Amino acid sequence: MHKRIKLAGLEEYFGEILVPTEDVVTFTRNGNRRVVKRKLYPGYLMAYMTINDDSWFLVRETPGVGDFTGSGGKPTPMDPHDVEKIVKKDEPDEEEGEKALKTAIPHRPGDRVRVKEGNFQNLEGEVEKVDEANGRVTVIISIFGRSTPVELDHWQIEEL
């Protein structure tokens, strides 16, 4: 999109254009830890721009762009407070130093899983809650005929 803006000579109407992302930790098949970027809002980008006929047409005619978010065919500007929260999410806090990374967990509530390590090894259950911030998963396991929630690390379970 930057190239199209430059070719059209409309740089004065556009500011920053960004795809909001966050860093998450994933694990490869052999257990190696990897940090990757994950889109916060897949399919969306944010653009600081002055809307006029030329800038609107340029964005709408860019391949891959479907439409603006808004109603009645008119784009709705985002609240500056919301923009600030999204932009600041990528920057570490000065007090924290390095920000805590989320762990990408491939399981979702309702998935059937088997415990592969720990005290409940080989028992099966259903995922109740996923905590990506701490890399933990709450699984409902039937123990002695009673449904019991058990909190496990994400690497202790596997999909059925």
Per-residue pLDDT at 100: 67
For residue 15, what are its two tokens? 């500011």
Say if pTM beats, i.e. exceeds, 0.95: no
pLDDT in tens, 88-143: 765 555 444 455 677 778 888 999 999 988 888 999 999 999 988 788 899 999 98
Dihedral sign computed on CA atoms, order 11, 63, 24, 111: positive
φ and ψ at residue 12, rounded to 5 degrees? -65, -20
CA–CA separation, 88 vs 141, rounded Å? 39
CA–CA separation, 111 vs 22, rounded Å? 25
pLDDT in tens, 5-31: 888 898 999 988 888 888 888 777 676
pLDDT in tens, 33-55: 788 888 888 888 888 888 888 88
Instruction: Give whole-number Cα distances, 5 to 1, 13, 69, in Å.
Output: 6, 9, 20
Per-residue pLDDT at 96: 47
| DSSP single-letter state for residue 121 | T
Domains, the chain: 2-102 (3.30.70.940), 106-159 (2.30.30.30)
